[in-house]
Each structure stands twice: as C-alpha cells, then as structure tokens.
Amino acid sequence: MSKFVPARASLAALAFALAIPFQAQAAETENEAAQADSAIQADAADDQGDNVIIVTARRRDEDIQDVPIALSVIDAAQVDSQGLFNINRLTQIQPTLQFYSTNPRNTFVNIRGIGAPFGLTNDGFEQGVGIYIDQVYYNRIASATLDFVDVEQVEVLRGPQGTLYGKNTTAGAINIRTRAPSFTFEGRAELSVGNYDFKQAKATISGPISNTIAARISLSSTDRRGTILNVKTGQNVNSLDNLGIRGALLWQPSDSFKVTLSGDYNIQDPICCVQIYARVGTTQRAANRQYAALIARFPGYAVPSTDPFDRVTDLDANIRARNEHGGVSALVEWELGKFALTSVSAYRYWDWTPANDRDFTGLPIFLKVNNPTQQKQYTQEFRLNYEAERLNFVVGAFAFYQEIRTQGIQEQGPAASAWLLNPTSALSNNPAVLNGVVANNDIRLDNVSLAAFGKLNWKVTDAFTVSPGIRINYDKKDGQYDSVVTGNASNGTRQIVSNVPTSPFFNDPWIAAQRGVQASQFFEVDFSDWNLSYDLNLGYEISDAVNAYATYARSFKTGGVNLNGVPSRADGSAALEVAVIKPEKVDHFEIGLKTKFWDNKATLNLAAFWTDIQDFQASVISNISGSNVLRGYLANADKVRSRGVEADFRVQPSDRFTAYVSGAFTDAKFVRFVDAPCPPELAGGTTVSGTQVPGPAATPGALSPANCDVSGQWLPGVSKWAFSWGAEYNVPATVFGLEGNAYAGYDANFRSKFSSNASRSIYTDIDAYSLQNFRAGFRTDRYDFFVWIRNAFDEEYFESLAVTPGNTGLISAQMPDPRTAGLTVSARF
C-alpha cells in the first residue's frame, strides 16, 4: 500500500466539505454566469437532451457528424456512469479498440488489430496508436494504464492520422481532453466503494482568481485489493493503488488571447502484475525437458491450482509495479481575425520501478527479472489555423526529444540448474551452476523527431469538400545495449559469461552451461530516416442529415532499434544486421456514411476500411547461424492487412431514454510472413538443418523448424466480430425531498475468438466472451447516487494468454476482473 493511502481516505470527505461554502459563494456569483467558458459548456454537453457532440479531431471545433473520419466519443458522463476510468475500460464500449497489458511497460493499444506487435517490449520502437492529453503527445504507452483525471471527453480516431497527429498514428489516435479552468465557481466530488475493498474518490474545484485568471485542481484516487491470492506470501496480488493530481491555471486577458499552464502527477504503486498458470501444452522439446517432467524434479512441489479461475498463485519473487508519470505544459491560443495561432510546449517524465517473477512458478528459478526505466520527453508544437467561408487550413511544426534509460537485472536462483539445463547433463543436478548468475543491463536511447505538416479543407461547392494533407518527418535514434552477465566458474571464482571464444574461462564447463542460458553482449546502433505522410479526404453532404466521405492515406510508423539484445554470431559478436527495424509503410482506404434522422434523435454512422502495411514490425525468434541462444527481437513481416466494416447507432427519442449499438467486423491477418516465430507446438526441438524435415506438431523430441510461415493467419489480439450495446431509462422521482430522476442502465460487449500469441497457437486462442454491466440510481441537477455491478454474470475469460520462456509448454494467463459491485455517490456545485 502506498504512502498516499491516508490522504486518499479523506479525499472525498474533504471535497464534500468544501462543497458547502463553495455552494454559498456560487449562489452569490450567479450574475457572472455569462463569463462561463468551455467548462460550463461541458456541463451542458452532459444534458441528456443534447445531441450535438463537439470534437477537436481535426484540430478545430466541429460537430462529430460533420467530421469525415471514423470517430467515437466518450463524454464525462459516460466515463463516470460506466466506470471507464482508464483506456483499458474503454475497450468495453469501443469494438475496434484493443488493449492488452501484463504491466504498464508491457502494454499494447491497437485499433482494428494494428498498432503494436504482441508479446515483446522494446525501448527502441514506438506504438502505432498515438495518445494525446490536452494536445500533448504521450510517447510512452505506460501512460495508457493511468486513471483519467477530470476528463471532459475522449475521442477515439480510427485509421491513420499521420498528417495532423504525427508519424506513429498508423492505426489511429486517442485524443483526451480534460476540463478547463472556469470563471464561475464550480466543484465536483465523487466517492465509490465496492467489493474487493474497492475505493475510488474524485474531486475538482475551479473558479476565478481575478477577472483574467482562473484555476482548476483535480484529484483522483483508486484503491482495491488484488483479485488473486498468492498462497506463498498471503498477499492479494494484482491490486489497484492509483493517485492522480492535475492542476491548471488559465490567463485570459482578452477574448482573443489565452494561456493555459497545466501540471499533473500520477502514481501507481500496486502489488502487481502477475500472470498465473493457465494450462500446459505439449511442445517439440525433449520429454524430459517439458513442464511435467521438470516439475517432477522438485519432489513435493505442485502448482496450487490448475484451474486459473480459482485465482490463486504461488509466485515466490517480489512483486511490484510502481509507475510514476508527471509533466507540465503551456498552451497558448491567439485568435487573429480569420487566423488562430496555437503553441503547445510540454515536458513529461516517466519512472518505472518493477519487480517480477518471470518463471511463473513458486520455484526459485529466477529471483529477479526487472527493468527499471526512466524517461524524459520534451515537445513543442506550433499551429496556424485559417478559417474562411470556403477555405480553412492548418499548418504547423512539431519537435520531439526523448531520453530513455533502463537498468535491467536478471538473477537466477537455486532451482535454475534443474529447470534450465539439459537433465542428461550432470550439471543440471548441481544447483550451484546457475545459482547466482546475474545479468546487469544498461539500455539507453536518445530519440529526436522533427516534422512540418499541413491540412487543407476546400469547400468546392456547398456540398463537396476536398481535404488534402501532408506531413514530412525526420527521425533519429541512437541506442546502446550493454548486458554484463557474471557467474561462478567451476573453480568458484566469479567470471564474465561471454560468447567470445577467446574470452577467459570460455571452455569452463560451468561458464559454458551459463552461456547456453544467457551471455554478455554490447552493441551500439543508430537509425535515421526521412518520411512523407499524405492523405486525401473527400466529403460530400448528401443532405443536411447525411454526409458521405472517402479517404486515402499514406502513412508510416518510424523505424526503430532492437534494445533487448540481438542474436550473437559464431564469433560472439552481435548480429547488428538485425539491430535496426525498418519503418512500416501504410496504405489506407476508407469510405463512410454519417447520418442523422428522426429529428436528430438518432444517428447511424458506417465505415468500411482496407489497410495494407508493408514491413510490419513484428516479433521474431533468432535463426542466426552459430547463435547459441534463441533470442526474440523485432523485425519486419513483409505485409499485413486489416479490412472490415463498422457501424455505430445511437438513439435518444426523449429525455427519458437513450440507447446505442456499435459493431465491427475486422479481418486482420498476415498476408506474407514467412520467417515468423513458431508457435510452441512447433518449437523446442533440435532445429532442422540441410534437408531435414520438421517433425509433427506437439511431438516431444521432434525436429523443429527454424521459423514458420504464418502467411494467411490472424493478427494477434483482434476479434473478427466485436459489439457493444447499452441503454438507459429514467423516470421523474422524489427521494428525501429531492426532485430528480430515477434511472436504470445496462451496458454489454461481445468479442469473438482471437489469437493471443505472435504466431497463432492451439494453446493460446482466447474463446469468445461477453460481459454484462448494470447500474441503477437517482440523480438531480446536483447529486447522483447509483449502485452498479460489472461482469454481472462472472464471465470466466482471459485477457491474454502467453507462452512462457523455454518451450516447456507452460501457458500463463493475464486474468481480468471477476464480478464486481458497488455504490457511487457524487455531487457538483
């Protein structure tokens, strides 16, 4: 439990106490309501009868139905009522959004099945879904795991957004906007409690300091004990322990000029993140080196349960996932007649302090596999907007600098020899051979990106608009990987474990055994490239209520460098030919239709898309000649494709009833990938050479292919079919003398079967599942009280399944939340 917990316990009580005097002061300042800014407009947007949604997807305010791109919006009311307090929760209402996280550093956000490769974290590559908060680009995907703090609106933009949102938005962007400081006093407070000792508190206060200066401060805290019991330590693991603070100061000396200074601090410090025993499959490894035989080498040991839904584990290493983010930004907005100038300056940092158990058992095989990381980023963006009757455009420039420093450690324990060495070797019976082998890693990346961009909207006729866009980008990355592995030689001395044949103790039997597991490596690598993104969007207004659009986009995701180590050649040197990852090149086609009908009480939006990606960045396994250790790294698959159709229907026939249904069919697959890593059932045996033929799948001792052709297979992580739906109904009611509405809501989602491995495996497909959520309560203009139940029918499913190292056949599971229930009380003034 973090040191902030005592403060959290009183957070909501403090907010409610502050509400009383502020309500009185607010009453005295009602005559200043005319000064209300966007924060008050946000309240109006929460009104159940308001069917106009304003978005900033194209860096200007527009009605969502007029924006010719595939776009979904989640407002503050939906975030609060459905418990969507981070991006992971958004997947329940966004059918084409995929989120997978085994810990904040190992997090992947995809849209339409593309964005990031599955299963391999690497400091030297970037995601394909851009995350922006208040116009600031968040490079590290770990920010996606943090709680939202005082969010006004979340926009999910689907498809490449390279001209306005930058190079690494080949799959889309998530644009988050928080509430701005207001020139009328206002406040919000919310407290939620539930099972598993769930406690969540939110509080916001905003108001004027002077006639030209306003301030806002917001806090959010989430705390919950873990949903998995570690029988070894007695701890409940995979807990929640989050705290977020955001402050903003607005200076607005005139209607045409304003400056917003913002700062935030966010910390997670849970007992997290563990993956537990899911199942065991048969590989091509020798029978005496597969899971059952290895476990048998430790008499008296057994996994605490072979049913993952018993939610128990016995991991014996320390567990921690401290994730700290923070930053400051300055947003300057200056209107000059038909022109508007915007400047966004920001500094952000990320500090990641983990502790993991990466043997996924209660045995002391690995005592530590941790990669603490620190990152700093600086960004500067300038934009000039022009707005006229027939023509508007935005031009701009963007600069980005980033430093990443990672200090990894991997330490093997007394069970490592029996687990990792060939049982036919006498050394496997000697715990001292691998016990105490330590790898200390120093990983460094300096990353520079510069861009110039422009987007034009030309209204050729009253109905027809042509919108070309262009962005030129320069990227430079300088990386260093330095792993020093030490172990005890057979004479008891401490020595460097090296791949270089001329190194001291190279032929020592203990050092040779250690080298077969892990060896030292050092290399430096750099990458630089220019890239051009461009798109053409055609919009046609068929009628006041029907808009059609068509888009072609050529985009890219920047190249990268492998900073988790690369295979070694026979002479022990690093295979630098695979140290650089080529950029992805994207061709995207999309057509869509946006409609309003029934006197604007209903909307139906349709989109069909086809995305081809050349040189898709994907996980591979080494087949470098002479390499003594199989090592995973990132390389390029020849081609992948994602195509499909999406539909989004929403209806609000009256102030009493709202409903929505969203669905997507996504066909995402590898078109050509002939040297992919093999699934576990085709791995682990002696690699074929010459004219040898691989043995049958899942046959112990069979020959294994060096790699596999997965052309035509599913991309991991994406379902062919995904749906979300829900409704809310309210009736007038009076409770405790308060006049308001009693209401009931229902939300659900469905995802069909999907693959959870880089190459599809018979052991890692995740079956279809559906989640049902209910809520019921009473609300007034000022108060809201409701009870909720999520995953109401306690659906048993996996968030992800992973192949554990060594091809032993053990499959680990990332477990989702079980059924949860609770009560939420909120007030605003």
For residue 33, the model assigns a pLDDT of 38
In terms of pLDDT, which residue wins out, 49 or 64? 64
Summarize the confidence of residues 432-440 as an average pLDDT.
98
pLDDT computed for residue 1 by the predictor = 44
Block residue for tokens 């969010």? 151
What average pLDDT is seen over the chain?
A: 91
Radius of gyration, CA atoms only, the chain: 28
Closest residue by Cα to residue 801 from 758, 771, 738: 758
- pLDDT reading at 14 higher than 70: no
What secondary structure does DSSP assign to 442-469, as a single string? Answer: EEEEEEEEEEEEEEEEEESSSSEEEEEE
- On whether the CB atoms of residues 246 and 264 are closer than 8 A, the answer is yes
Q: What mean pLDDT do residues 625-653 have?
A: 83
What is the per-residue pLDDT for 21?
Answer: 41
pLDDT tens digits, one per residue of 139-195: 887 777 788 889 999 999 999 998 999 888 999 999 999 999 999 999 999 999 999
Residues 6 or more apart whose CB falls under 8 angstroms from that of 146 comprise 86, 242, 244, 266, 268, 323, 325
What 3-state DSSP class applies to 329? strand
Over range 628-633, report the average pLDDT.
Answer: 61
Q: Is 690 exposed, middle or buried (0-12, 13-18, 19+ CB in 10 A)?
A: exposed
**Confidence class of residue 84 from pLDDT cuts 50, 70 and 90?**
confident
- Tell me the sheet residues that pair with 641: 612, 669
Q: Per-residue pLDDT averaged across 261-273, rounded?
A: 95
Q: Give the amino acid at 431.
A: P
pLDDT bin (cut points 50, 70, 90) of residue 11 is: very low
167, 475 contact by CB (below 8 A): yes
Type of residue found at 365: I
Query: pLDDT tens for residues 224-253?
Result: 999 999 999 999 999 999 999 999 999 999
Q: List, in order, residues 6 or more apart from 191 with CB less than 8 Å away.
A: 12, 16, 199, 200, 201, 202, 824, 825, 826
The mean-pLDDT minimum among 147-151, 219-223, 510-514, 661-665 falls in 147-151
pLDDT of residue 82: 87
Residue 788 has what pLDDT? 98
Using the predicted structure, report yes or no on whether residue 38 has a pLDDT greater than 90: no
**Please, are residues 751 and 768 in contact by the beta-carbon 8 Å criterion?**
yes
pLDDT at 120: 63
Q: Is 690 helix (H, G, I), strand (E, B) or coil?
A: coil
- 458 forms bridges with which residues in the sheet? 391, 466
Q: In this predicted model, what pLDDT tens digit does every residue of 740-783 receive, in sequence order?
A: 999 999 999 999 999 999 899 999 999 999 999 999 999 999 99
Residue 621 pLDDT > 80: no
Provide the pLDDT for residue 806.
86
Superfamily of domain 5-828: TonB-dependent receptor, beta-barrel domain (2.40.170.20)
Domain ranges of the chain: 5-828
Task: Give Cα 359 to chain centroid, integer Å.
Answer: 24
pLDDT tens for each residue of 482-515: 999 999 999 999 999 999 999 999 999 999 999 9
Residue with the bigger pLDDT between 42 and 424: it is 424
pLDDT digits (tens, 9 = 90+) for 101-151: 888 888 889 999 999 877 667 888 888 999 999 999 998 877 777 888 899
DSSP code of residue 144? G
Q: Which two tokens stand for residue 449?
A: 């990106």
Q: In 3D, which of 401, 120, 418, 413 has the Cα closest to residue 297?
A: 418
Largest CA distance in the chain: 88
**Confidence band (pLDDT; 50, 70, 90) for 88?**
confident
Residue 44: the pLDDT is 37
Q: Is the pLDDT of residue 352 over 90?
A: yes
Res 5: pLDDT: 43
| pLDDT band at 22; cut points 50, 70, 90 | very low
pTM: 0.91
**542-596 residue pLDDT tens:** 999 999 999 999 999 999 999 988 888 888 889 898 899 999 999 999 999 999 9
| pLDDT confidence of residue 318 | 93
Q: How much is the average pLDDT of 332-348?
A: 97
Rounded CA-CA distance 341/397 in Å is 12
pLDDT over threshold 50, residue 295:
yes
Angle at CA 199, nearest 5°, toward 769 and 4? 125
Of the candidates 283, 163, 805, the one whose C-alpha atom is nearest the C-alpha of residue 518 is 805
Pairing between strand 738-751 and 769-779?
Answer: antiparallel
- C-alpha dist (Å) from residue 481 to 22, 274, 372: 55, 27, 15
Q: How many residues does the chain have?
A: 829
